[in-house]
């Protein structure tokens, strides 16, 4: 076996024969996967017609044309002339006796309590809550914040909002006041649906007080619906209760939507400015996820799909749609993955006989560090594993497949992002999979690795880029067209440049090598440096700040902050670090607290006074600094070097 094949997973003839992608190949009349991939790029209209039929997507009115690009590559119109509400493709499973009785969602809480609902009951819940939403004034086009622990209620709410034509704005359960206000105010949200709290590591974490503080700064939010969690403190601003709204007269039929009508605005951080509101539509995100669930995750009717994810991030809705659009059972878990100990995940798999299990690399590293306990549960039911959200090293990739997959189940590496719905690169089960690699671009997405002028490169590091519009790409940023164009379409004319460094081997395997910009990923959650720097600058002793992400063996990346004090200011380093931690906790949330804070006299800047974060990161981590011709104050680097040497 060659070095490039060492540790590679190879599919058995049985896996290839039964795979969804093999069935799709048969429908399209192609003999092998490479031919399928080529067809998906050269004849995307034919490819997507077959995919949508294979995935059972329900249309109210069939589309007349696959795509209209008259407005240019950044602004395609998909499935022109068609009508659909994507939730009908979920509730269709309630239409037959067999699938109606199947569990749609199993929700396990941290305390061990478990609730189940069938596809028939889920459809009733969606229609009932949709009627309640309409009854309290929520209508088509309204933006509605959703901050709730994962489970049946959150699933019902998101689907019911889409059912009435409203637009969900997911919020991370760990957000602070500032993060909530910035997102809901940016999109003009008129309603908020939230839980009063949740449990973490056996403790009650209340959210009512936090949200009430946020609501003081959100005059556009007129309707608040609370789901009371146990005996957690109530809310002075209660005007509607989840239980009451849920009991309203049902709305039997979904709102008729065009494929380009939004159903979600989800915010993601960039390197500069406020978070970006990626707009996803009824004819975009759900269809791409149905495709990926079939082609990459090989999910079929009756499977059991578990990938613990917060509803506030793109993974929450992605996981939900992956299971429910394919007629599988979705297993939700609301709690710490290592509570009461590190066996929680494997025992979750055992309890519910999970067939498809997904995990972020951060969690995989934690499981591997506690392997004796983490593997105590029976994971023999697992047929396929998924990892996504950040880069993963070959050792932990292989460990995941060896332990949770018993060397039989493939590990599907999956990368895309909030702005693209699903995969740009991933793997399929009909081809060998190298540790930490991706064995294919996602069919239908003309992804490439390019140099700085857009030429394809192989065997060298380049930018991950997309050469043509693709189903699932964001419809733009909410009321910010210029920022959308600047973020993805300005670097290389005619190409979507995604911001990831990648390499393609001669054998067609891809590897990701980190971000090409300054975006920070903390346990898989993206954070723009500007978002943290603005908050640091609110402290009275700080005049300048720079935030960088540094590789961490457990979390993937940790946040390190460099600050310059105001002239004459003197503070104790320990006290300042504590003060910053408390302040960031209150504004953004505890997950975004800097791991380390360093006080320096100056930050490296360009001649136009832009902070050179990439240079800071390179010097601090001992990496080559690259071109320093734009650096205006070389003396700043010696301080960074000294700080690095001391740590």
Segment 374-388 shows an average pLDDT of: 97
The alpha carbon torsion through 633, 637, 638, 639 (nearest 10 deg) reads 100
- What pTM did the predictor assign? 0.85
Give the model's pLDDT for residue 3: 42
Give the model's pLDDT for residue 534: 76
Considering only CA atoms, which of 532, 557, 551 is closest in space to residue 542? 532
- Strands (E) across 129-285 are located at 143-147, 167-170, 191-195, 197-200, 203-206, 223-227, 240-241, 262-268, 276-281
Contacts of 239 (CB under 8 A, 6+ apart): 223, 224
Considering only CA atoms, which of 429, 424, 399, 398 is closest in space to residue 412? 429
Computed from CA positions of residues 186, 188, 192, 196, in that sequence, does the dihedral angle turn out positive or negative? positive
Q: In this structure, what token pair is assigned to residue 622? A: 């001992």
pLDDT tens digits along 27-72: 999 999 999 999 999 999 999 999 999 999 999 999 999 999 999 9
Q: Which superfamily, per CATH, for 521-646? A: ANL, C-terminal domain (3.30.300.30)
pLDDT higher than 80, residue 117: yes
Distance between CA atoms of 70 and 68, rounded to whole angstroms? 6
**CB neighbours (10 Å) of residue 638?**
11
pLDDT higher than 70, residue 235: no
Segment 80-98 shows an average pLDDT of: 97
Give the model's pLDDT for residue 225: 93
Q: Are 297 and 384 in contact (CB under 8 A)?
A: yes
Confidence band, pLDDT 50/70/90 cuts, at residue 2 = very low
Confidence band, pLDDT 50/70/90 cuts, at residue 240 = confident
Quickly tell me which residue has 């497949």 as its tokens.
Answer: 401
Confidence band, pLDDT 50/70/90 cuts, at residue 647 = confident
pLDDT tens digits along 161-183: 999 999 999 998 888 898 899 99
For 294-335, the DSSP string reads: HHTS---TT-EEE----TTSHHHHHHHHHHHTTTPEEEEEES
By CB neighbour count within 10 A (0-12 exposed, 13-18 middle, 19+ buried), where does 406 fall? exposed
pLDDT higher than 90, residue 202: no
Beta-bridge partner residues of 464 = 449
Q: Are 467 and 495 in contact (CB under 8 A)?
A: yes
Distance between CA atoms of 255 and 162, rounded to whole angstroms? 8
Q: How far is CA 34 from CA 148, 214, 293, 430, 457, in A?
A: 42, 51, 19, 11, 19
**Residue 372 or 635, more confident:** 372
Confidence band, pLDDT 50/70/90 cuts, at residue 237 = low
Considering only CA atoms, which of 384, 416, 415, 414 is closest in space to residue 400? 384
pLDDT tens digits along 538-586: 898 998 889 999 988 777 789 999 999 988 887 788 889 999 999 998 8
Contacts of 624 (CB under 8 A, 6+ apart): 618
- Kindly list the domain boundaries of the chain, sorted by start residue: 521-646
Give the model's pLDDT for residue 630: 58
pLDDT tens digits along 271-283: 455 788 999 999 9
pLDDT higher than 80, residue 489: yes
Distance between CA atoms of 172 and 19, rounded to whole angstroms? 35
At 362 the three-state DSSP class reads helix
Segment 314-334 shows an average pLDDT of: 97
Distance between CA atoms of 356 and 346, rounded to whole angstroms? 12
pLDDT higher than 90, residue 386: yes
Give the model's pLDDT for residue 532: 84
Distance between CA atoms of 75 and 226, rounded to whole angstroms? 37
Give the model's pLDDT for residue 548: 92
Q: In this structure, what token pair is assigned to residue 170? A: 């997911």
pLDDT tens digits along 492-540: 999 999 988 889 999 999 998 777 767 787 766 767 677 788 789 889 8
pLDDT higher than 50, residue 1: no
By CB neighbour count within 10 A (0-12 exposed, 13-18 middle, 19+ buried), where does 381 fall? middle
**CB neighbours (10 Å) of residue 507?**
12
Alpha-carbon Rg for the chain, nearest whole angstrom, is 24
Computed from CA positions of residues 100, 102, 104, 106, in that sequence, does the dihedral angle turn out positive or negative? positive
Neighbour order of strands in the sheet with 240-241: 240-241, 223-227, 191-195, 143-147, 167-170, 262-268, 276-281
Task: Report phi then psi at 422, rounded to 5.
Answer: -125, -135
């Amino acid at each position: 076996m060659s070095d490039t094949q060492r540790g590679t997973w190879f599919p058995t003839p049985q896996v290839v024969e039964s795979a969804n992608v093999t069935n799709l190949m048969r429908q399209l009349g192609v003999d092998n996967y490479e031919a399928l991939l080529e067809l998906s790029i050269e004849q995307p209209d034919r490819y997507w017609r077959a995919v949508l039929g294979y995935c059972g997507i329900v249309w109210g009115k069939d589309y007349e044309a696959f795509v209209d690009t008259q407005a240019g590559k950044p602004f395609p119109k998909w499935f022109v002339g068609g009508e659909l509400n994507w939730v009908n493709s979920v509730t269709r499973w309630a239409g037959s006796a067999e699938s109606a009785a199947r569990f749609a969602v199993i929700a396990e809480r941290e305390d061990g309590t478990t609730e189940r609902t069938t596809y028939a009951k889920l459809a009733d819940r969606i229609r009932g809550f949709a009627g309640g939403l309409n009854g309290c004034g929520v209508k088509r086009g309204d933006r509605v914040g959703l901050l709730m622990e994962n489970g049946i209620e959150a699933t019902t709410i998101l689907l019911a909002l889409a059912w009435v034509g409203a637009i969900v704005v997911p919020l991370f359960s760990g957000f602070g006041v500032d993060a909530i206000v910035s997102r809901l105010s940016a999109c003009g949200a008129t309603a908020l649906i939230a839980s009063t709290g949740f449990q973490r590591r056996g403790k009650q974490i209340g959210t009512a007080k936090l949200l009430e503080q946020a609501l003081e700064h959100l005059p556009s939010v007129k309707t608040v619906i609370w789901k009371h969690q146990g005996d957690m403190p109530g809310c002075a601003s209660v005007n509607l209760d989840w239980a009451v709204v849920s009991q309203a007269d049902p709305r039997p039929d979904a709102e008729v939507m065009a494929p380009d009508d939004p159903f979600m605005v989800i915010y993601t951080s960039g390197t500069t400015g406020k978070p970006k509101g990626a707009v996803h539509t009824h004819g975009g995100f759900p269809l791409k996820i149905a495709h990926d669930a079939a082609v990459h995750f090989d999910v079929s009717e009756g499977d059991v799909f578990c990938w613990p994810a917060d509803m506030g991030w793109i993974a929450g809705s992605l996981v939900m749609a992956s299971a429910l659009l394919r007629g599988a059972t979705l297993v939700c878990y609301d709690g710490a993955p290592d509570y009461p100990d590190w066996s929680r995940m494997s025992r979750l798999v055992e309890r519910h006989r999970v067939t498809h299990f997904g995990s972020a690399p951060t969690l995989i590293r934690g499981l591997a560090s506690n392997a004796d306990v983490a593997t105590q549960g029976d994971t023999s039911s697992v047929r396929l594993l998924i990892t996504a959200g950040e880069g993963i090293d070959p050792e932990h990739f292989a460990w995941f497949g060896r332990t949770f997959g018993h060397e039989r189940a493939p590990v599907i590496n999956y990368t895309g992002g909030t702005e693209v719905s699903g995969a740009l690169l991933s793997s399929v089960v009909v081809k060998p999979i190298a540790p930490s690699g991706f064995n294919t671009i996602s069919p239908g997405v003309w992804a490439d690795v390019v140099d700085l002028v857009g030429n394809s490169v192989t065997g060298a590091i380049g930018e991950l880029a997309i050469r043509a519009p693709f189903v699932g790409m964001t419809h733009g940023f909410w009321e910010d067209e210029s920022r959308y164009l600047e973020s993805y379409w300005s670097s290389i004319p005619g190409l979507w440049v995604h911001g990831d460094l990648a390499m393609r081997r001669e054998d067609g395997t891809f590897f990701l090598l980190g971000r090409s910009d300054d975006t920070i990923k903390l346990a898989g959650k993206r954070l723009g440096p500007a978002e943290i720097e603005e908050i640091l600058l609110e402290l009275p002793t700080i005049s300048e700040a720079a935030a960088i992400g540094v590789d961490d063996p457990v979390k993937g990346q940790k946040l390190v902050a460099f600050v310059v004090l105001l002239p004459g200011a003197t503070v104790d380093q320990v006290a300042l670090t504590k003060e910053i931690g408390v302040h960031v906790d209150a504004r953004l949330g505890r997950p975004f607290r800097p791991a380390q804070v360093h006080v320096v006299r100056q930050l490296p800047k360009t001649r136009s006074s832009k902070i050179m974060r990439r240079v800071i990161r390179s010097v601090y981590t001992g990496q080559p600094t690259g071109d320093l011709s734009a650096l205006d104050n070389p003396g700043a680097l010696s301080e960074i070097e000294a700080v690095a040497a001391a740590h």
